[in-house]
Chains A and B, each alone.
Chain A
Amino acid sequence: MKQFTDGISAILSSATQIPAMLAIAGFFAAPALAHHSVVGEFDTSREVELRGTVTKVEWYNPHIWLALNVIREDGRLESWDCEMGSPNQLIRLGWKKTDLPIGTVIRTRGNPARDDSKTCTTRTVTLDDGTPVFSRVGRPE
């Protein structure tokens, strides 16, 4: 499993539970096409891997935001907010907000915010079984 550094390592310790399948999930989804410089807000030299339950999907421009209850190893929950690309891009690929119902368990890889708030920009998002969701390669038929 990838080695992580700095203050988010506690959260990332739960990454050991993430199957290897997730490590190759980058194949399925290109990075979000941001409307601005990602590196100003997020630290692309660090990675975050999260497994959690979706509590809210904000399907608005300029970015979709997913609110997550992240399940830590010790059983505690942490609230995270993670951004995706524009909904316009996903709409044209056939995705709808309802394709990710509240309560769904997802896994995501991305980059954490520079201010160490529990915020990230996503690189990949999958269902718990590794199926890509809101992927930029399109919605499965």
Chain B
Amino acid sequence: MKNRFLALLRIFGAIIVSLIWVNASQAQAAPDIPRLVSGKPDFNGIWARPYVPDMFAAGNGRNQFGPGELPFTPAGRENFESYNPSDGDYTGACLPFGLLRAMNSPDPIQFMQTATHFALLYEQNTWFKVINLDGKDHSTGVPTWFGHSIAHWEGDTLTIETREFNGRTRLDTVGHPHSDQLVVNERFSLRDRDTIDYEVTITDPVYYTKPVSNKRVFTRQTDFELIEYSCEENNKSLWEGRIKVPRYDD
């Protein structure tokens, strides 16, 4: 009887020690980050992010880290070298920036998150993108400017894969191209309460020989709200003909 009691005591003690160790490990892996009731990291808030006009540059080494190389396929190089924004500038014409140009914008962004959805509110042109977090494919089959996204969690990292782009956008301000085969993988991780580590990887075998990644740091902003931003309100450059709307073949 006494031996059985001691054995139970040892098992109970081992469980307690294990729980303490697991909690300590979690605390070490993810210090003081806000979480939803579900336990998932809580990205709600307004965030400042670096302007990335060239996704292939090395970056500023502070809050932006790029590849520092440009692995064009011959088709990619030809497209880029023939690009002239004077002939047609879709962003200047206030057409949708698309996912990459919107994420590369210098304007602040707000994330609104529930247990089921993740919404990206871009101050730039007051656009938004909403992603279901159920991990299922909700595609309509129609390619779009911002693509179709499927999200899932890898531990505390929110991972979003986006496909089905309409091919009418460019990756960045300097005009690096992408095809309709583009796949974008984004990873959002809370480093601490006020810092997001963001990594975006683009894969486009038509224009690039290998995937290219770009890392950035987003910083929480608590002293302002998003401001309305109408791209059309005073776009004199378009009305007066200095910016042209691009012509699409299809």
* Residues of chain B with a CB closer than 8 A to A115's CB: 241-242
Stretch at the interface among A13-21, A37-45, A95-103: A37-45
Query: For the complex, is A81 an interface residue (Cβ under 8 Å from B)?
Result: yes
Query: For the complex, is A83 an interface residue (Cβ under 8 Å from B)?
Result: yes
B interface size (C-beta, 8 A): 32
Q: How many A-B residue contacts, CB cutoff 8 Å?
A: 82
Q: Smallest Cβ distance from B92 to chain A, in angstroms?
A: 4
> Do B86 and A114 touch (CB < 8 A)?
yes
Supposing A40-B85, A40-B86 touch, asked if A62 and B243 sit within 8 A by C-beta, the answer is no
* Residues of chain B with a CB closer than 8 A to A119's CB: 240, 242
Per-position 1/0 for B224-250, Cβ under 8 A of A: 100111110111110011110000000
Stretch at the interface among A1-9, A85-93, A125-133: A85-93
* Residues of chain B with a CB closer than 8 A to A117's CB: 240, 242
Supposing A61-B230, A86-B229 touch, asked if A35 and B91 sit within 8 A by C-beta, the answer is yes
> Do A63 and B234 touch (CB < 8 A)?
yes
- Chain B CB count within 10 A is highest, among A40, A86, A88, for A40
Query: For the complex, is A76 an interface residue (Cβ under 8 Å from B)?
Result: no
* Residues of chain B with a CB closer than 8 A to A91's CB: 227
How many angstroms between the C-alpha atoms of A88 and B105 in the bound complex? 13
How many angstroms between the C-alpha atoms of A34 and B243 in the bound complex? 13
How many angstroms between the C-alpha atoms of A6 and B65 in the bound complex? 39
Supposing A33-B51, A33-B106, A35-B91 touch, asked if A61 and B233 sit within 8 A by C-beta, the answer is yes
How many angstroms between the C-alpha atoms of A117 and B91 in the bound complex? 22
Supposing A40-B243, A60-B234, A113-B242 touch, asked if A88 and B227 sit within 8 A by C-beta, the answer is yes
Chain B residues in contact with chain A, CB under 8 A?
51, 84-86, 89, 91-92, 94, 105-107, 123-125, 173-175, 224, 227-231, 233-237, 240-243
**Could you write out 26 A-B pairs with CB less than 8 Å apart?**
A35-B124, A36-B85, A39-B85, A40-B84, A40-B85, A40-B243, A41-B86, A41-B89, A41-B92, A41-B242, A61-B228, A61-B229, A61-B233, A62-B125, A62-B229, A63-B234, A63-B236, A63-B237, A86-B107, A88-B123, A91-B227, A92-B224, A113-B242, A114-B242, A117-B240, A119-B240
Chain A residues in contact with chain B, CB under 8 A?
33-37, 39-41, 58, 60-63, 65, 81, 83, 86, 88-89, 91-92, 113-115, 117, 119
